[in-house]
């Protein structure tokens, strides 16, 4: 039993020092958590009392309880809102590639079936392909299983298997991904792609880290071999002097993942930190960071997880997307874009007015995007109300519906306490939520 909880993967020692002067540069767009609701109806009731409103079955409402043309803060969004984000991102930004970090399906989790999942993924994917500048790389979210969060490991080959999802995703991506990527994607939802000759993207299926994936009771030790695969690919990158972007849906923090998975992930980041350009996630729907600290010296930050805010407005947030830029093996800046739902719902026939919300380095007054700079920023947030208010304003993408600048001290402390990731076995989560 103990072995099943405190497992530790073997991580080989350094073969040689990573080449720190690798030339690579580019920008990419990250979009995440669309959860498009194809049953969204303009004018339907937003206060239905259920999990997901704004549907024909909720009846028609007027005034403030009426579903708007671009969405509502209590509902999943209409397709036209996502299409507006895609058009905007495509027209305004020169990018090498796009990244979509999962949760294609709406939040009607009580009635969704396999056909609905495939239909939601297929429709969203078609739109992504229509607008993306460069290739678009998919990540599988926890909502892509008809039974939410339920991802059996690949050795389950009976009627409970989730192989059909991985096969469907690889069929959709067959013109984008390499034959090797399609093999691993088809097996367990993970893959590696070269972005240029010096840079690789490693997509990890972090549904195999999630506490809410009950299959981890059956197979708790690196289910789907996601972390063993990550170690192998990072070793290959080190040997070949490649830099690495890591993308997942669920961020491996002290809340979402089983302790041993997070523990081993921290060990991996600590061992390979010089290779990593950035780590990108979705899932929480909020604009957040996580800061990983060394297991050897817990005062030393060793990695940053960037959680891009959602497209859907379901969590009372404004829709947002991001552009990341990197050069010479490091992230150089991050630009976050959003639109004010309240303001734009008054203009049903105009194009959505997307705005730049903030530039991370300039607006947060960071020296750079290194873990050390973010550690300094975290200390400033604890000491300085202005910095903390800035982070909280962005947390909901400046939502008028839920202004995090006015939240209680307890909620504020919880948001700040979510940021550091330290010794997972000593910092178990207080609560689990799903998005």
Handedness of CA 136, 142, 143, 144 (dihedral sign): positive
Is there binding between residue 135 and Zn ion (CB under 5 A)? no
Least distance between Zn ion and beta carbon 249 (Å) = 6
x/- contact string, 55-74, with Zn ion (CB under 5 A)? --------------------
Sign of CA dihedral 253, 102, 271, 415: negative
Please measure the distance between the N-terminal and C-terminal CA atoms of the chain and give it in whole angstroms: 30
Q: Which of 29, 33, 192, 275 binds Zn ion (CB under 5 A)?
A: 33
Torsion of CA 344, 346, 350, 354, to 10 degrees: -10
Q: In whole angstroms, how large is the CA radius of gyration of the chain?
A: 21
Closest CA to 332 of 360, 290, 308: 360
Per-residue binding string, Zn ion, 275-304, x by CB under 5 A, is --------x---------------------
Q: DSSP 3-state assignment of 204?
A: coil
Query: Would you give the binding string for Zn ion spanning residues 87-106, x where CB under 5 A is met?
Result: ----------------x---
Question: Which of 401, 256, 310, 250 has its CA nearest to residue 35?
Answer: 310
Nearer to Zn ion, 37 or 238 (CB): 37
Smallest distance from the beta carbon of 237 to Zn ion, in angstroms?
Answer: 27
CB of 40 to Zn ion, least distance (A): 16
Pairing of strands 330-338, 320-327: antiparallel
CB 177 within 8 A of CB 185: yes
Stretch that binds Zn ion, among 7-15, 136-144, 270-278, 406-414 (CB under 5 A): 136-144
Nearer to Zn ion among residue 96 and residue 285 (C-beta): 285
Query: Which ranges of 13-61 does DSSP label H, i.e. alpha helix?
Result: none
Contacts with Zn ion, 139-178, as mask; x by CB under 5 A: --xx------------------------------------
Counting contacts by CB under 5 A, is residue 418 touching Zn ion? no
Q: Which stretch binds Zn ion (CB under 5 A): 33-41, 215-223, 335-343, 389-397?
A: 33-41
Asked if 143 and 35 count as a contact pair (C-beta separation under 8 A), the reply is yes
Q: Where does this chain bind Zn ion (CB under 5 A)?
A: 33, 103, 141-142, 283, 435
């Amino acid at each position: 039993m103990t072995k099943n909880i405190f497992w530790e993967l073997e991580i080989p020692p350094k073969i040689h020092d990573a080449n720190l002067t690798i030339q690579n540069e580019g920008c990419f767009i990250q979009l995440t958590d669309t959860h498009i609701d194809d049953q969204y109806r303009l004018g339907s009731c937003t206060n239905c009392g259920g999990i997901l409103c704004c549907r024909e079955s909720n009846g028609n409402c007027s005034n403030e309880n009426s579903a708007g043309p671009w969405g509502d803060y209590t509902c999943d969004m209409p397709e036209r809102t996502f299409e507006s984000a895609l058009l905007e991102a495509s027209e305004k930004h020169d990018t090498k590639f796009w990244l979509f970090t999962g949760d294609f399906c709406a939040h009607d989790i009580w009635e969704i079936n396999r056909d609905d999942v495939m239909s939601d993924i297929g429709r969203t994917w078609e739109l992504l392909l229509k607008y993306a500048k460069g290739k678009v790389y998919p990540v599988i979210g926890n909502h892509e299983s008809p039974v939410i969060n339920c991802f059996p490991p690949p050795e389950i080959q009976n009627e409970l298997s989730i192989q059909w999802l991985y096969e469907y995703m690889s069929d959709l991506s067959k013109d984008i991904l390499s034959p090797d990527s399609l093999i691993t994607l088809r097996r367990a939802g993970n893959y590696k792609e070269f972005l240029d000759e010096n840079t690789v993207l490693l997509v990890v299926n972090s549904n195999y880290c999630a506490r809410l994936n009950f299959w981890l009771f059956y197979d708790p030790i690196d289910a789907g071999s996601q972390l063993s695969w990550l170690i192998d690919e990072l070793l290959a990158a080190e040997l070949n002097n490649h830099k690495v972007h890591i993308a997942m849906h669920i961020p491996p923090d002290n809340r979402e993942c089983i302790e041993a998975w997070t523990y081993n992930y921290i060990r991996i980041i600590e061992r390979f930190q010089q290779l990593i350009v950035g780590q990108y996630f979705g899932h929480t729907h909020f604009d957040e960071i996580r800061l990983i600290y060394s297991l050897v010296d817990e005062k030393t930050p060793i990695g940053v997880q960037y959680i891009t805010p959602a497209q859907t407005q379901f969590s009372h947030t404004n829709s947002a997307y991001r552009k990341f830029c990197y050069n010479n093996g490091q992230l150089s800046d991050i630009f976050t874009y959003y639109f004010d739902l309240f303001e734009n719902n008054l203009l049903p026939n105009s194009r959505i007015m997307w705005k730049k919300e903030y530039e991370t380095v300039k607006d947060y007054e960071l020296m750079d995007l290194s873990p050390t700079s973010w550690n300094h920023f975290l200390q400033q947030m604890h000491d300085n109300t202005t910095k903390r208010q800035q982070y909280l304003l962005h947390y909901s993408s400046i939502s008028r519906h839920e202004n995090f600048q006015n939240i209680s001290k307890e909620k504020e402390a919880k948001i700040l306490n979510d940021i550091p990731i330290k010794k997972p076995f000593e910092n178990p989560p207080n609560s689990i939520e799903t998005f």
